[in-house]
Amino acid sequence: MIQLKKFVKHFIIEGQKLIWPLAAKSRFFCRVYYCFFDRSFGYEQQALIKAKLAYFAKEGIQNGTSSLLRRNIHRLEKGLIMEPRRDFFALDYILETVDVYLLASESADFSKTELDWAYSVLIEYFEAVKTTHKEVLQAKQRFDSISPRVDISSKPYSSESRKTHNIDFESFSNLTQARRSTRWFLNKPVESEKLEKIVSVASQAPSACNRQPFEFMVVEGDSFRKKVAKLPGGTVGFSDNIPCLIAVVGDQSYYPTDRDRHVIYIDSGLASMQLMLAAETLGLSTCAINWPELEKLDEKVSKLLKLPQYKRVVMFIAIGYAKPSGGIPFSEKKSAQQLMNFIKE
């Protein structure tokens, strides 16, 4: 059976090798190839279209947050810190921003801190812009028509007044070396307070336009966790040994345009890295687990985690207390010289 599988795989690859040079010649041939010979992007493309529908159906507001509001408020903040600051900016999106702010403030379950931030920045913006452009005047009029909030000053500040830290390079470098992918854990549950702490550290990660289009789904219940942990192929042999499993889920409906289709993976990856390092500081160990882009698996995981198609599993993270005698692969790292490359014109 294994031999037969190997033979079929070999046969398919050899066949594809004949077609690839032609497909690589032009984008048209490439599209024909992915239309007729390889459907692997089909599910993802459908997810992208569903994401656009979801975005516009909710006018940029979803689950107590708004990707549109977050993006636009971020853009206003960038305008406010510009050196030199321009007399006016954001003419093309200020009305849209105030409108989405109004909608958000009318939504009962909308995040209070997100509204506070938007409110503070909008106040700052209208104080800062010096213009009689009709877009700004109209936006100001609409903004003034709603009940004011207490301005808690969630607005741009100077670099010298930001939070300080006392971690030196040596300590941080040690932390990164102490973190190693761990696959063997003690049979000990992970405290939910610790999970909350590491997720709050993950939330500090950079994300495109501060949209944070991801969530960390903790898979609960022994048998359910084991079932879900078996799905990604990379857990063979240790899936039953994972005491805590997190599905990192990226929400493609934060983006109405295809050009940003990779951002959920980048943002989720950066936040996940922070989460894994934070876990280490609390005595927990982790292992990132690959989620392959395979239609059948995607369908299965979406069903189990009750995800709409536009919410994509980016990866899983196993978390737990490391079993002291559990093996850790050596995992030789590349040197800085290998990874660095200087380029001149």
Q: Which spans of this chain sit near ligand FMN (rule: CB under 6 A)? A: 180-181, 183, 232, 234, 287-290, 315, 331
Distance CA 146, CA 106 (A): 10
Measured from the CB atom, the residue of 279 and 288 that comes closer to ligand FMN is 288
Using alpha carbons, select from 126, 120, 130 the residue that is nearest to residue 142: 126
Distance CA 146, CA 148 (A): 6
Give least dist CB 230 to ligand FMN, A: 12
Distance CA 15, CA 320 (A): 44
Give least dist CB 291 to ligand FMN, A: 8
Give least dist CB 28 to ligand FMN, A: 33
Measured from the CB atom, the residue of 129 and 317 that comes closer to ligand FMN is 317
Give least dist CB 313 to ligand FMN, A: 12
Q: Which two structure tokens, joined as six digits, stand for 72?
A: 């636009």
Give the helix ranges, DSSP H, for the chain.
2-25, 27-36, 42-57, 67-80, 94-106, 112-128, 134-144, 169-178, 192-202, 222-229, 263-281, 295-305, 336-339
Measured from the CB atom, the residue of 256 and 326 that comes closer to ligand FMN is 326
Give least dist CB 232 to ligand FMN, A: 6
Sign of CA dihedral 35, 41, 45, 46: positive
Contact 262, 51 (CB under 8 A): no
Grouping H, G, I as helix, E, B as strand and the rest as coil, residue 181 is coil
Give residue 179's identity as a one-letter amino acid code.
R
Give least dist CB 290 to ligand FMN, A: 3
Measured from the CB atom, the residue of 52 and 180 that comes closer to ligand FMN is 180
Give least dist CB 185 to ligand FMN, A: 13
Measured from the CB atom, the residue of 239 and 302 that comes closer to ligand FMN is 239
In DSSP notation, 263-327 reads: HHHHHHHHHHHHHHHHHHHTT-EEEEEE----HHHHHHHHHHHT--TTEEEEEEEEEEPBPTT--
Grouping H, G, I as helix, E, B as strand and the rest as coil, residue 219 is strand
Measured from the CB atom, the residue of 171 and 177 that comes closer to ligand FMN is 177
Give least dist CB 245 to ligand FMN, A: 12
Measured from the CB atom, the residue of 61 and 288 that comes closer to ligand FMN is 288
Q: Which two structure tokens, joined as six digits, stand for 296?
A: 């059948």
Measured from the CB atom, the residue of 69 and 287 that comes closer to ligand FMN is 287
Q: HSE-up of 17 (CA within 13 Å, CB side)?
A: 6
Measured from the CB atom, the residue of 192 and 290 that comes closer to ligand FMN is 290
Q: Which two structure tokens, joined as six digits, stand for 332?
A: 């030789």
Q: Which residue is nearest to ligand FMN (CB)?
A: 234
Give least dist CB 181 to ligand FMN, A: 3
Maximum pairwise Cα distance, the chain: 76
